[in-house]
Each structure stands twice: as structure tokens, then as C-alpha cells.
Amino acid sequence: MIKLKPKISDFQESNKFDLFNEAFLQKYKHNKNSIIEYYYNHFEKSKQNIYYELIGYLFELIGFSKCSITREGDTNNRMDALILESDYTIPIEIKSPTEIAYINIKSISQALENKIILTSRKLFVNNFNDTSLVVAHNYPNTRSEVNDLIEFYCNSYKINIGCLDFKSIFSIAYDVVVEKKQFDKDLIKNLKGFL
């Protein structure tokens, strides 16, 4: 049902996700904004198979134990990914840039469905108050409709939906890996709206 992501060493062999190697960091003089912009542009045409794995990899870099990515076309498992911790599970709706470039209303509705399905199937440890995430390459141009829907779902169903764009999650990963900063995972676990 859930495909475990390839080992990090597999990525390094293909050089696909060796994001923070020292030679690259030196080339950009450890300029965080330039590095984020480089990778933002590098992955902006990525398809599902690459982008989903990248997002799972970034979640693990920032400190989550495991982020399992579902197989493309697996209709038995509705969620694109799951953050699996010992005491909670977070479903993730991922939109690759070739699917849709921005978080939109449909992706918010899919995040709601993901949380309902995760709760009803009882396959993983699931705290109903924990977030259901949407990750896309960009935040929406106008956040008002998306924010209104997130508020409506929270008020109606008591489900929190959190949103992350590529630059936000990559920035956190940079801080953790390069700057050796600690990241409070509860900021994502309890996220409602935009990080």
C-alpha cells in the first residue's frame, strides 16, 4: 500500500537530491536566498515521481522520522504521503509543479478528505487535532479564498489544514542541515493555515 522512499544513498548516487553538498554551498557562498532560488527554479518543472520524493526527503531532513510516499497511480491509498512518527501521523497532499503550481481550493478539500480517510481507516496512530498538510511549489497569489475554506473546515469539522510552499520547507531544511539549527516540529504538527 505505501512505498517506502529510496535510501538517501540512492539519491546521492544519482546526485538527484544531494542538495547541500559543500562544493555547491561554496559556489553560492552559503547565500541562503540564492540557494533557495536556485532549487526553486531547478524543480519548478518536476513531475510527481521526482517532486513527491523531494518533499518527503525535505520533511525527513527537518527532523521527521519517516515520510512515506505513495506509489503513483495507487488508488487504494488516497494520500500522496504520510509523515509517520511514533505517536502521530500527518497526511500530506502534494501538488507537483506540473500538476498545479499553486495551492488552491481543491487541494485544501483533498487535505480534508485525507484526514477523514486516515481517521476512518485506523491504520496509523492518528490524533484528530493534528494537521493535514498541503504542499505545493507556491502559495496562492491571493490567499483569502484558501484561508476562508481552511477556517470553514476548522469550524465545521474541527480539522486543521496547514499549507507549505517549496521555499518555506526548503528554508527550514537549509537551517537544519547547513546552519545546524533546531526546528520545532510542532510548528508543522499543529499548523493551521500558512507557515
Read off the pLDDT of residues 7-64 as tens digits, 9 standing for 90 and up.
333 333 334 578 999 999 999 999 999 999 999 999 999 999 999 999 999 999 999 9
Give this prediction's pTM: 0.87
Instruction: Tell me 6's DSSP state.
Output: P
Domain interval for residue 109: 8-194
3 lies in a domain?
no
Nearest alpha carbon to residue 188 among 167, 160, 166: 160
Do the beta carbons of residue 79 and residue 63 sit within 8 Å? no
Structural domain total, the chain? 1
CA angle, corner 118, sides to 167 and 86, nearest 5? Answer: 75
2 lies in a domain?
no
pLDDT for res 73:
54
1 lies in a domain?
no
Give the β-pairing of 89-95 and 81-84: antiparallel
Nearest alpha carbon to residue 6 among 76, 48, 69: 69
Where residue 135 sits, what CATH number does that domain have? 3.40.91.30
145 lies in a domain?
yes
